Amino acid sequence: MGVFEEACLGAVLGALLQAIIAAKERADFFKKTLEHLETTVKNVETIIREILKLENVPADVKKWKLLKKRKVKKLILEVVASLERFMKYDFQAEQLRYVAIVDKDTAEVDKEIAEITEKWIM
């Protein structure tokens, strides 16, 4: 990986991680999801750096090219699987938890309104 690519990757992923950490500190909900996202981004960063290192290795030999392609493909599939797992399970589970909390709060408000209305009617 060239110096420019390394710097760009570091800047982008660093900014993303800072945004996630800042959101995590302010979040009342989705804190666990943001923690999982932070871990996922850190894991993905490691895999991407490994892919870029493999891409920059001289590939003069046909066997090495084939091995490199297989290794890079495997690493890319790991990135995709990691992101899919996060979106499919972690994020959706946190959304359901949030909906349950909102539903509970709504039920409590409805109960309070009913009590107030009952007092006014009597």
pLDDT (mean) for 70-92 = 78
Residue at token pair 């992101």: 83
pLDDT tens per residue, range 33-70? 788 888 888 888 887 777 777 766 665 656 666 777 77
φ, ψ of residue 10 to 5 degrees: the values are -60, -40
| pLDDT on residue 42 | 84
Whether the pLDDT of residue 28 is over 60: the answer is: yes
Domain map (residue ranges) of the chain:
28-121
| pLDDT on residue 63 | 63
59/65 Cα distance (integer angstroms): 5
| pLDDT on residue 56 | 65
Whether the pLDDT of residue 18 is over 80: the answer is: yes
